[in-house]
């Protein structure tokens, strides 16, 4: 049976949104039947945004009253969509702008795939604000061997999440709160025999931290890409990636080895090139310490 846009609900996670977020939400609404707006704001939500969402007939606004984390918000939206009988859930963050017909194009790839029942996630290509995409996907796109590629992991924003499979493999892990929530879920899908696919012809511009390129002229003229995540995000990234590496090291050893190498490179770049480096290193070490104590949830 072909999947249509009537089978797709949308979810956007809000956190202290500014007025421009309403423009993004209008784009999401053009792609789906219903949109669940889950508000993780700790302070009073922008009244203009809140009133517009409450009054919109195709938006269901859910106020958590505090920041419960990205995993909790994703689970709230997925549960509501399942209860309403939707088959797929478009997962968005508030800062991403969807290109025209994105859901339609993703559904075309799902419907033309030989075994659509095996697809846990269909993702666009996430292009970061410096124009970069994941190295492995970039090579596959250049090769031009197909319109869909299998990936180990993808970021959450812009994905179509198969809700029947979500019900089988279980919810996103609340204990992680933020960072590596999406990666852990993708690896869990693959461990259970499901596919994480990327539609090479569908591009989503995605904001990730404060990415910048910087030269380290003392040693080399090579430019290094910096994420510039703040120290709190560095804590979550460190703690949660150690958890994921340990959890999946037997099932996906190559992925975990590569991710560990990335971690080493990141801490070197932070130490040499990023601002507020001492505080970031302190919270990196705190993340390692809390991982060793099995301490999770919100910092």
For the whole model, what pTM was predicted? 0.90
How far, in Å, are 15, 185, 283, 285 from residue 245 at the CA level? 28, 13, 19, 17
State pLDDT tens for residues 111-121.
999 999 999 99
State pLDDT tens for residues 73-82.
999 999 999 9
Spatial distance between the Cα atoms of 109 and 101, rounded to a whole number of angstroms: 13
pLDDT of residue 130: 52
State pLDDT tens for residues 42-89.
876 678 899 999 999 999 999 998 999 999 999 999 999 999 999 999
Spatial distance between the Cα atoms of 242 and 180, rounded to a whole number of angstroms: 10
State pLDDT tens for residues 264-274.
999 888 888 77
What would the CATH number be for the domain defined by 6-206? 3.90.550.10
Spatial distance between the Cα atoms of 125 and 134, rounded to a whole number of angstroms: 8
Spatial distance between the Cα atoms of 269 and 274, rounded to a whole number of angstroms: 7
Element (H, E) at 184: helix 181-191
How far, in Å, are 130, 201, 290 from residue 101 at the CA level? 24, 12, 43
Task: Delimit the domains of the chain by residue range.
Answer: 6-206, 212-292
119-128/195-206 β-pairing:
parallel
State pLDDT tens for residues 99-135.
999 999 999 999 999 999 999 999 999 887 655 666 5
């Amino acid at each position: 049976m072909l999947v249509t846009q009537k089978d797709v609900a949308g979810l956007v996670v809000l956190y202290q949104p500014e007025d421009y977020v309403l423009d993004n939400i209008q784009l999401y609404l053009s792609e789906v039947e219903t949109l669940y707006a889950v508000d993780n704001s700790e302070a009073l939500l922008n009244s203009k945004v809140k009133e517009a969402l409450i009054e919109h007939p195709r938006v269901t606004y859910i106020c958590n009253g505090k920041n419960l984390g990205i995993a909790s918000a994703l689970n709230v939206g997925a549960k509501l969509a399942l209860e309403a009988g939707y088959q797929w859930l478009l997962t968005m963050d508030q800062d991403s702008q969807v290109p025209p017909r994105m859901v339609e194009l993703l559904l075309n790839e799902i419907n033309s795939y030989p075994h659509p029942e095996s697809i846990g996630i269909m993702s666009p290509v996430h292009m970061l604000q410096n124009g970069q995409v994941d190295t492995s996907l970039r090579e596959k796109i250049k090769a031009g061997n197909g319109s869909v590629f299998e990936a180990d992991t993808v970021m959450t924003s812009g994905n179509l999440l198969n809700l029947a499979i979500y019900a089988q493999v279980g919810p996103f892990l609340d204990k992680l709160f933020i960072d590596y929530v999406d990666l852990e879920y993708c690896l869990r899908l693959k461990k259970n025999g499901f596919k994480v696919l990327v539609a090479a012809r569908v591009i989503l511009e995605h904001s990730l931290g404060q990415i910048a390129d910087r030269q380290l002229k003392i040693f080399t003229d090579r430019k290094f890409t910096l994420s510039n995540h703040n120290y709190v995000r560095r804590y979550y990234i460190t703690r949660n990636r150690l958890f994921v590496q340990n959890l999946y090291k037997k099932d996906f050893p190559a992925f975990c080895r590569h991710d560990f190498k990335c971690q080493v490179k990141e801490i070197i770049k932070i130490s040499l090139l990023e601002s507020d480096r001492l505080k970031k290193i302190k919270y990196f070490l705190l993340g390692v310490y809390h991982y060793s104590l099995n301490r999770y949830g919100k910092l």
